[in-house]
Amino acid sequence: MADDAVLLREGIGQILRAGGVEVVSSVDTAEELLQVVAGDPAIDAVVLDIKMPPTHTDEGLRALEELRASGSSVGVLLLSMYTTAAYAIRAMSAGSGTGYLLKDRVADAGTLVNAVRSVAAGGSVVDPEVVALLVSGRTAAASLDALSARERDVMRLMAEGKSNAGIAADLHLSLRTVESHIGHIMSKLDVEDTSEGHRRVLAVLRFLGRDS
């Protein structure tokens, strides 16, 4: 765990231990966390604040990006005090094994423990308030119901962080067919944006937030 707020860090540690999670290290900065992860390949997941010393801006996000750039598949659960669209999109763009929760959820022991276990297993977790912010929920449920079984399969793999090529391999489809499915998904979910990466993240957020 990494958080410069000692009391919060201790509280999170107590909740995780009570939930059967072994906490092997608790540090103040993202830099220290990266050093711990680099020195212990057995670590399954990390929990860290987004804003930490020295600048209190995006240290947690930069740590996530550094881990992924190095090829690490360790689960990463980011905690934030505020619902920030840009940070959420940046976090979920890192692919599978990533979660973004508001610190308010720390009070819910079950939610926190389940989120850590989910990212450790390669899943994705998005705070419901973040989903509500990024996805206008006007026709979310109806749109998701409109997806075909194959389109849902594609969405599930997108949510796991798979590339188009990875989805094609898993579903034994051609790359062109996968691209066609994704185009239909974007249309049915009414996801419009000029950035393809941004559109993909928004579609996944809508999919993950379907029950929120």
Cβ-contact 48, 30 below 8 angstroms: yes
* 148 falls within a domain: yes
Q: Which residue segment(s) compose the domain that 114 sits in?
A: 6-134
Share of the chain above pLDDT 90, in %: 44
Tens of pLDDT, residue by residue over 159-184, are 766 778 888 999 999 989 998 988 88
Report the range of poorest mean pLDDT among 146-155, 173-182, 201-210: 201-210
Q: What is the pLDDT of residues 84-126, one digit of tens each?
A: 777 887 887 787 789 899 988 888 899 899 999 989 998 888 8
Domain final position from 115, 134, 153? 134
Whether 1 maps to a domain, the answer reads no
- Both tokens of 167, joined, read 């989805």
Out of 68, 103, 134, a domain closes at 134
In a domain, 56, yes or no: yes
pLDDT value at residue 132 = 64
Whether residue 144 contacts residue 155, with contact meaning beta carbons closer than 8 Å, is answered with: no
Q: Let me know whether 100 and 165 are in one domain.
A: no
End of a domain among 134, 153, 179? 134
Distance CA 188, CA 130 (A): 21
